[in-house]
Amino acid sequence: MPRDFYEVLGVPRTATDVGIKKAYRQLAMQYHPDRNAGDKTAEDRFKEVNEAYAVLSDADKRAQYDRFGTVGPTGAGPGDVGFGSLFEDIFDNFFGGGGPRRSRGMRGEDLQYELKLTLEEAASGLETKLQIPRLELCESCRGTGLEPGTRPSQCDMCGGRGEVRLAHGFLTVARTCPKCQGQGQLNRTPCKTCRGEGRQRVERLLQVKIPAGIDDGMQLRLSGEGSSGVHGAPPGDLYVLVRLLEHEAFTRKGDDLYAELPVTFPQLCLGTEVDVPVLGGTATLTIPAGSQPHQILRLRGKGMPRLRERGRGDVCYRLILEVPQKLNAKQRDALRAFDAASSGSRGPLMEGFLERMKKLLG
């Protein structure tokens, strides 16, 4: 009785497509005929792994297999070919081209690099160099996977056609060769530098331009700067993920910057002008007379540049009333005099509070 496909790949039935693909790649590399020349057990295992992946990587076939334990409406066992796939292959042969099926190259992997910036760097923009580890075409074999000076040999299973033909009664169906994976050739002399993969790990120094106004969590896409593709396929992309470091004074919200500004009671009452920090220096902020604690005052156009737009955001200062913990005699006398002079006067906040209490208490 054929083994369970999930057991073949060593994954649970709840495995995701990514998990199934990862398990398949590891097993296919482990049991590949090029690495196990003359090993019949490894060859059978390689076929079994490919058969399991062909079903579990296809959403419809996997759903049918999960439900019935077989693939194909005829009730064929796992690995047998049902009428559905028979007719697909017949139509492919008659209308999709009767030539050998060569497996296509695999696009290179996308890469991500996390770049940490200060708020000042994000505000001004910059050009920087990044050291990126990635897979590139092997310099020794130029991506062929063959030891220099050698040539691939013809696949002895498909005779170099890249496909094998299976007879089912009066029908003959063409399938991608499981031994050479449709290449029609076998690499029996793998490159010693890359071990036959055709790619090797290198580090490249890339120049990257960071635009002014970029925010935390944004990504820059560098097309074609990921890992190299396999068998002539295009390379992947590089994504630079921006992370902003915490700032001593400011918190960023969109294009605006926020800071807390300690003030005294006389400053709130009488109004004043104070020097406040902005990116790259200081500026003068006017505090109007009668300002309230936690009120927010803005300096227009002193915040972050707007990405891909003109202008800048604002810098917003929240007024924080700082109450002295110790008073001298002169300060206490002045406050007592102020309190006496204020007896009976109420501001709008106190009036509103008393009005709400009166309604609540009836």
Q: Walk across the sheet containing 251-253 and list its strands.
A: 251-253, 256-263, 315-321, 296-299
Residue 115 lies in a domain: no
98 domain residue, yes or no: no
Q: Show which of 80, 105, 134 is a domain's final residue.
A: 80
Position 341 in a domain: yes
For residue 313, give its domain range. 251-361
- How do residues 114-155 score in pLDDT, each as one tens digit? 999 999 999 999 999 999 999 999 999 998 899 999 999 999
Query: Pairing relation of β-strands 153-154 and 185-186?
Result: antiparallel
Say which CATH number the domain at 355 has: 2.60.260.20
pTM of the prediction?
A: 0.61
Q: Does residue 47 lie within any of the structural domains?
A: yes
| pLDDT tens, residue by residue, 40-71 | 888 889 889 898 998 899 887 887 777 666 66
Does position 96 have pLDDT exceeding 70, yes or no?
no
Mean per-residue pLDDT of the chain: 85
Between these two residues, 342 and 334, which has the higher pLDDT value? 334
Number of domains present in the structure of the chain: 2
Q: Does residue 225 lie in a domain region?
A: no
Q: Which residues pair with 280 in a beta bridge?
A: none
Alpha-carbon distances of 215 from 118, 163, 328, rounded to whole Å: 11, 52, 48
CATH classification of the domain holding 28: 1.10.287.110
Supply the pLDDT for residue 90. 35
Over residues 286-297, the mean pLDDT reads 96
How far apart are the C-alpha atoms of 256 and 304, rounded to whole Å? 6
Q: Give the pLDDT score at 87.
A: 38
Q: How far apart are CA 86 and CA 173, in angstroms?
A: 6
| Structural domain contains residue 335 | yes
- 132 within domain boundaries: no
Residue that is last in its domain, among 58, 80, 102? 80
The answer to the question of residue 112 being in a domain is no
